[in-house]
Structure 1
Amino acid sequence: MALLNHHIVWSRDAQASADFLTEIMGLDPAVKLGHFVMVRVTPDITFDFMSTDREIMAQHYAFLVTEDEFDLIFTRVQERGLTYWSDPRHHDEGNINRLDDGRGVYFNDPSGHELEIITRAYGSGGLEAEHPNPLLTEELAESGTLPTLS
């Protein structure tokens, strides 16, 4: 089995983007290694920020956090005056979602990458949840069965 070790994140300013992520998420300070500014996002995975003048294709990074971590991170988002949304298409500005009976919110980093924090993994509430993930109901309607991740 192959395990993800690191992900290169193109940025306008690698240090500024790494600092943003560590401050917002409450992570350990970034470490500079050559032209990379590395942030440990899990015990086994780093985001290796790299500055570029090329066009940056915005990426999406979702973090599963505890309820307490959500409160801390969301407070930092609000204190910085960042725009946030309850949905990935950025239609519902200024709100969070309650999918799978958890909480989730989207916001952007300085280079335009979309960060998401969620307290429940997608689909984990099942159809019994008060706020089921609409992806589950769409999948059930299309295929007649619910997906399973193993």
Structure 2
Amino acid sequence: MPVQLNHTIVHATDKHRSAGFVAELLGLPAPKPYGPFLVVELANGVSLDYMDSDGPISPQHYAFLVTEAEFDEIFGRIRERNLPYWADPGRRRPGEINTRDGGRGVYWEDPDGHFLEILTVPYGGGA
């Protein structure tokens, strides 16, 4: 069996708020409790396991490959919430999306500053 990512722990100041935020924006089922975690299941069997943290949060980056239709739905929810978004990870192109590799991509932050990204074509995978 090839190596596959199964889950990763996402530290949050409020796991309910953060897990709910990402699940709602991505159009995923509601998070489910598992031990000290709130688990957000992705379509490919990988999960984001949110855990409350007492200390400072070190922001991480999480990128999600989505279809064109899913991009439209998620981006619509980002805009409905008036969330700041960027076309680039350096935040030099606010209020824009990118069209790298012939697809579309956009970045935004969750409540704890984790940098989230949706893209429709994997890097290097386009025309």
* Equivalent position of 1:118 in the other structure: 119
* Counterpart for residue 37 of structure 2: 36
Residue 61 in 1 paired to residue 53 in 2? no
Does 1 or 2 have the higher relative contact order (CA < 8 Å, sep 6+)? 2
Cα distance in 2, alignment partners of residues 104 and 3 from structure 1: 24
> 2:9 is paired with a residue of what secondary structure?
strand
Letter in 2 for 1:72: E
Structure number with bigger Rg:
1
Identity, % of aligned positions: 49
Q: Does 1:52 align with 2:53?
A: yes
Q: Which residue number corresponds to residue 80 of structure 1?
A: 81
Structure 2 segments unaligned to the other structure (5+ residues): none
Tell which deviates more after alignment, 26-35 or 82-91: 26-35
Count of residues in correspondence between the two structures? 126
Kindly provide the CA deviation profile for residues 114-138 of structure 1, in whole angstroms up to 9, marking residues without a partner as x: 110001110112xxx4xxxxxxxxx
**Could you tell me which residue of structure 1 aligns to residue 18 of structure 2?**
17
Normalized against structure 1, the TM-score is what?
0.81
CA distance in 2, matches of 1:123, 1:10: 30
**Could you tell me which amino acid in structure 2 is paired with residue 42 of structure 1?**
A
CA distance in 1, matches of 2:92, 2:13: 26
Shift of 1:10: 0.2
In 2: Cα distance, 1:112 partner to 1:60 partner: 9
Q: Structure 1: which 5+ residue stretches go unaligned?
A: 130-150
